[in-house]
Structure 1
Amino acid sequence: MKVKEVIVVEGRDDTAKINQTVDADTIETNGSAVGKSVIEQVRHAQAKRGVIIFTDPDYPGSRIRHIIDQAVPGCKHAFLPRDEALAKNPDHKSLGIEHASAQAIKHALQGVYSLSDESYYEIEREDLIAAGLIGGANSRTRRERLGELLQIGHTNGKQLLKRLTMFQITRNQFEEAMSQVLQEENNDC
């Protein structure tokens, strides 16, 4: 699989894993203190080929994603579910793209999103409450699974509506994903 855009990752282990999986070029941020030179590289790559931000599914990864997205508008985003990014060795409690399978990385890169500044709201807060995504006993688990299915990453209750709107998730996409979440819950019972 060849990726046209340049992929922004956190470090060299992520680059190595990406290069084992797909044919792509990367820019490494080397941590969450994203410097001016990295921003300039990303800006140049965005102008020439486009950029996919693909950071670890944790707070530092989210921070890096936010910094770059604010500095270089128009980047695409790929998300990896937390459970796909955990180290396989139980003694090594690390989380990152470097621990993901090739299949998980390909799936994340095939499901990239472009953020939108358009502020239309097809899904409302009441929909999230009715779906048990906010304020319920299983809300966190449901949000995690919904984020995986829609490939929008893990969010807390406050962030979910914003993320659904940013990625222009339609009511139909939301309802189909929620139907699958509820069906999986019922099958587990």
Structure 2
Amino acid sequence: MTVILITIVFAAILAFVLGVALGFFQKKFHVERDPKIDEVRAALPGANCGGCGFPGCDGYAEAVATGRAPTTKCTAGGSSTAEAVSQIMGVNAVAEDLVTVLLCQGTKEMAVSRGDYIGIKTCRAAKLSTGGLKACAWGCQGLGDCVTVCKFDALEMGEDGLPQVDYDNCTGCGMCVTECPQKLFTLVPRGKKGSIVLCSN
């Protein structure tokens, strides 16, 4: 019985000492968090698409609040988000809404296939293993890597074998630009999407 009581008392004393020590070190090494980080994060859309070049919205919010990133990098949020973030940071910034444009018109009829492909059904794999599926070496492979990577349902494969952009859903995050092995997507201001040459050759 005595041994049990001694053990309980010792455990209680040890817990008390550790609690005091933890409290001391928490205050001693506490790092103040800039409240602007949370304010900026709340203004972001929460897409975590990586279009800003940072690891998700949390990473971008911290970068903005600490002065390591401009307030206009959130393509998913567009100009309204840029204005809100700029207001929080006390700066003036103007951002254009961007959308993606496919630089290819190589439909099934326009760019004939070089043969049947039986490999892994991704554009990148087809490009690496065969050099390309179509007679046009610069054209769309038509296997939809861009559709798979789009988080906003802004892309779908059309019956003509090319990805179709839904401009109502496109946020200009740039994921399709990064994913396409043929580099066939580019970001342009929403109002100028009809003024570029739709071919990468």
TM-score bracket relative to the smaller structure: under 0.3
Tell me the TM-score normalised to structure 1 length. Answer: 0.24
Bigger helix fraction: 1
Tell me the TM-score normalised to structure 2 length. Answer: 0.23
- Greater relative CO, 1 or 2 (CA 8 Å, sep 6+): 2
